[in-house]
A and B are shown apart, each in its own frame.
Chain A
Amino acid sequence: MSDIWQGPLEKIDNWHWRIPKSYKSGMRVPGVIFADERLLKDIRQDKAPEQVANVAFLPGIMKYSLAMPDIHWGYGFPIGGVAATDVKDGGVISPGGVGFDINCGVRLLKTNFQYDEIREKIKDLVYVLFSDIPSGVGSKGEIKVSQKEEREILVKGARWAVQKGYGIEDDLECTEEYGAMSGADPYAVSERAYERGKAQSGTLGSGNHFLEIQAIDQLYDRQICEQLGLRLGLITIMIHSGSRGLGYQVCDDNVKGMIRCLDKYHINVPDRQLACAPLESPEGRQYLAAMKCAANYAWANRQCLMHLTRRSFERVFNESWQSMGMYLIYDVAHNIAKIERHIIDGKEMTLCVHRKGATRAFAPGHPALPERYKQIGQPVIIPGDMGRNSYLLVGTQKAMQETFGSTCHGAGRLKSRSAALRSININQLMRELEERNIFVKASGRGTIVEEAPAAYKDVNDVVDVVANAGIAKRVCRMRPLGVIKG
């Protein structure tokens, strides 16, 4: 199934490659992939480019079906796909354009510590965090919520957590959408989704989800770093998690429902996983209202995870988190659909922007940004694999013009999990990580192998492309020190 993709990829310039509209009858717009020659070779290795072409079938899609350089084969949409549809003109929303893990995302917080001050403590911290933060599949959190409260979480998102004392008002300002999308309707969420999400608040989840202690190892924009209080060697913490069972079920329920919509609304898509419905239809509205609930649940979850992290640090260092400077830089979603205003051919339009493994990257001055980031642009957090780097970027005007204010979301997978298990030796991998002073703790050894650096593209190459193409600007780079894997 992983034969080299033979379709047309026309070079526009060093960073843009086009799949012409003529490639497949039914494509409404061309596809555009952000990549350089080197990454393009990897991109051709699986069916991701075919999926870029398939997304171009969606009714109401504007300009092009986009893919970021971390693109790889998903189901329905490719991972790394961005597509915007015209809300007013029959444009559709597709649960497959968001994914099962609705509002899977990342947050980055800083500390006052320099690497040299805490290098001896990294192992202790990892052990404490590993025991304090429920991770792994089916893990249940210590933060318990009643059913009535669960509905409240779905509406209030991260604010619910802050009101419970799991954070401060400032945290909300540093979260995309201020930690909650408006218009979330808890009654659009099925009982089954509640059942699957039950007791999972404040849990990390599994697979590629993680919590990482990092040190800043390179500064790119000194002025922005200074403004954010970031300097070389500073310790940061990154949390990657999503909406857990609740989000999976919301997606599942709605894909099933929307398969019926393909006939009902005469929609022609080449993959059933691209099932969709017009935004202005009962099914479209129902999904959007339920998706927002799952997104809010994920923001509450990451807020709880950050609270548990702060508490673990307090235990280890016997200091308050405030005095350790553990403030949130930003929290971004990378699996989501948003109703946004964008300028298309000089005209302001209301679009539904699907970001499936892609991050919002709004430019300086955008009204959605809080005052503190108006001048520098929206912080964008790019996690890499556990052996290489992660990045802090900011959004740009070029992203607004070219990608509906979007950029990449991570390194992007290169090898399948089974290929990783076949080709990577766990003992050797652990030795290599240790040589690089990276301490990893996971609930299973298999997870470490599946998530090994060799299974991913080099995030540095991916970020090079988005920076060179101008759809994000580099601020600083981090390297991992301690990793907790679900």
Chain B
Amino acid sequence: MKTYEIINHTADVGLRIYGRNLEGLFLNAASAMFEIMLEQVKKRPIFGRTEHMRFLLNKQGNNIEEVFVAWLSELLYLFSAEGLVMEKANMHKLDLNCIQAEVIGRAFDSDFERIKTEIKAVTYHELEIKEDKRGWQAQVIFDI
């Protein structure tokens, strides 16, 4: 099952993201965002030392859209301020008004990867999150 696709937007980048459940949707959205931002320039040595980072995240919102934007915005912030590239996350709590998660990732390392697209922000424009028989779907536009 594909986890996301790029949708057309004249100036920015739009994504449609899929997930079997809400948790899957949030994780797939985060992976998609990092995939758009970064590209590998050199293979990492298998036994190399990679610095790992952990952050606890706790965000509230009035609805699922706000929680979704808060989640991605926080990851974007952690990336630009702390250099965190998310690799996985343990969701402790996720509902229509709240997300609590432990985000684990590596420190961005320009020896192995480069930023191909700068995402400035996650926007609310045409934001849509819905549940259907196959699971959850979200549409989001990033300002780049």
Q: Do A and B bind each other?
A: yes
Among residues of A, the one whose C-beta sits closest to the C-beta of B69 is A256
Among the 9-residue stretches B43-51, B89-97, B120-128, the one with 4 or more Cβ atoms under 8 Å from chain A is: B120-128
Interface contact B81-A198, CB-CB below 8 Å:
yes
Give residues of chain A (175-203) contacting chain B, Cβ–Cβ below 8 Å.
Answer: 192, 195-196, 198
Interface contact B77-A196, CB-CB below 8 Å:
yes
Interface contact A419-B11, CB-CB below 8 Å:
no
Interface contact B81-A192, CB-CB below 8 Å:
yes
Please give, as numbers and ranges, the residues of chain A lying within 8 Å of B141 by CB-CB distance. Answer: 75
Give residues of chain A (260-282) contacting chain B, Cβ–Cβ below 8 Å.
Answer: 271-273, 275
Residue A9 at the chain B interface, CB threshold 8 Å: no
Interface contact A446-B81, CB-CB below 8 Å:
no
Give residues of chain B (57-99) contacting chain A, Cβ–Cβ below 8 Å.
Answer: 65-66, 70, 73, 77, 80-81
- Closest-CB distance, B37 to chain A (whole angstroms): 8
What is the number of contacts between chain A and chain B, taking CB atoms within 8 Å? Answer: 105
Interface contact A2-B10, CB-CB below 8 Å:
yes
A415 to B8, CA, bound (A): 9
A207 to B70, CA, bound (A): 24
Known: A72-B10, A416-B9, A419-B8. A271 touches B125 (CB 8 A): yes
Interface contact A418-B6, CB-CB below 8 Å:
yes
Residue picked from A46, A75, A414, most chain B C-beta under 10 Å: A75
A73 to B14, CA, bound (A): 12
Known: A252-B73, A444-B116. A99 touches B7 (CB 8 A): no
Residue B56 at the chain A interface, CB threshold 8 Å: no
Please give, as numbers and ranges, the residues of chain A lying within 8 Å of B6 by CB-CB distance. Answer: 418
Please give, as numbers and ranges, the residues of chain A lying within 8 Å of B80 by CB-CB distance. Answer: 138, 196, 245
- Of the candidates A198, A271, A414, the one whose C-beta lies within 8 Å of that of B10 is A414
A271 to B7, CA, bound (A): 19
- Closest-CB distance, A308 to chain B (whole angstroms): 20
- Closest-CB distance, A47 to chain B (whole angstroms): 8
Give residues of chain A (38-70) contacting chain B, Cβ–Cβ below 8 Å.
Answer: 45-46, 48
Interface contact A99-B118, CB-CB below 8 Å:
no
Number of contact residues on B: which range applies? 20 to 34
Please give, as numbers and ranges, the residues of chain A lying within 8 Å of B66 by CB-CB distance. Answer: 259
- Closest-CB distance, B50 to chain A (whole angstroms): 18
Residue B52 at the chain A interface, CB threshold 8 Å: no
- Of the candidates A73, A76, A206, the one whose C-beta lies within 8 Å of that of B118 is A206
A138 to B13, CA, bound (A): 19
- Closest-CB distance, A117 to chain B (whole angstroms): 36
Known: A1-B9, A138-B80, A196-B77. A444 touches B114 (CB 8 A): yes
Give residues of chain A (420-446) contacting chain B, Cβ–Cβ below 8 Å.
Answer: 443-444, 446
Interface contact B121-A137, CB-CB below 8 Å:
no
Interface contact A75-B114, CB-CB below 8 Å:
no
- Closest-CB distance, A73 to chain B (whole angstroms): 4
Known: A1-B9, A248-B120. A137 touches B127 (CB 8 A): no
A443 to B117, CA, bound (A): 11
A345 to B29, CA, bound (A): 50
Known: A2-B8, A100-B143, A416-B8. A259 touches B118 (CB 8 A): no
- Closest-CB distance, A275 to chain B (whole angstroms): 8
Interface size in chain A (residues, C-beta < 8 A): 46
A196 to B6, CA, bound (A): 27
Mark contacts of A385-425 with chain B using CB atoms, 8 A cut-off: 1 yes-contact digit, 0 otherwise.
00000000000000000000000000001111111000000
Please give, as numbers and ranges, the residues of chain A lying within 8 Å of B108 by CB-CB distance. Answer: 138
Give residues of chain A (108-141) contacting chain B, Cβ–Cβ below 8 Å.
Answer: 136-138
- Of the candidates B12, B77, B116, B118, the one whose C-beta lies within 8 Å of that of A75 is B12
Interface contact B115-A136, CB-CB below 8 Å:
yes
Known: A252-B73, A413-B11. A137 touches B81 (CB 8 A): no
A245 to B73, CA, bound (A): 13
- Closest-CB distance, A204 to chain B (whole angstroms): 11
A136 to B6, CA, bound (A): 23
Please give, as numbers and ranges, the residues of chain B lying within 8 Å of A271 by CB-CB distance. Answer: 124-126
Residue A87 at the chain B interface, CB threshold 8 Å: no
- Of the candidates B7, B115, B126, B144, the one whose C-beta lies within 8 Å of that of A417 is B144
- Closest-CB distance, B31 to chain A (whole angstroms): 18
A327 to B117, CA, bound (A): 33
Interface contact A99-B143, CB-CB below 8 Å:
yes
A418 to B77, CA, bound (A): 24
- Closest-CB distance, A1 to chain B (whole angstroms): 5
Known: A272-B127, A418-B6, A444-B116. A73 touches B121 (CB 8 A): no
Give residues of chain B (104-144) contacting chain A, Cβ–Cβ below 8 Å.
Answer: 108, 114-118, 120-121, 123-127, 141, 143-144
A332 to B54, CA, bound (A): 42
Please give, as numbers and ranges, the residues of chain B lying within 8 Å of A46 by CB-CB distance. Answer: 9-10
Please give, as numbers and ranges, the residues of chain A lying within 8 Å of B65 by CB-CB distance. Answer: 272
- Which residues of chain A have a CB within 8 Å of any CB of chain B? 1-2, 45-46, 48, 72-76, 79, 99-101, 136-138, 192, 195-196, 198, 205-207, 245, 248-249, 251-252, 255-256, 259, 271-273, 275, 413-419, 443-444, 446
What are 7 inter-chain pairs, A to B, with CB distance below 8 A? A46-B10, A99-B143, A252-B121, A273-B125, A417-B117, A418-B6, A446-B117
- Which residues of chain B have a CB within 8 Å of any CB of chain A? 6-14, 65-66, 70, 73, 77, 80-81, 108, 114-118, 120-121, 123-127, 141, 143-144
Other than the given A73-B10, A271-B125, 7 more pairs (CB < 8 A) read A76-B123, A100-B121, A192-B81, A248-B143, A256-B70, A272-B124, A417-B13
Q: Which 8 A-B pairs have the closest CB atoms?
A: A75-B125, A137-B118, A272-B124, A137-B115, A195-B81, A75-B123, A273-B125, A73-B10
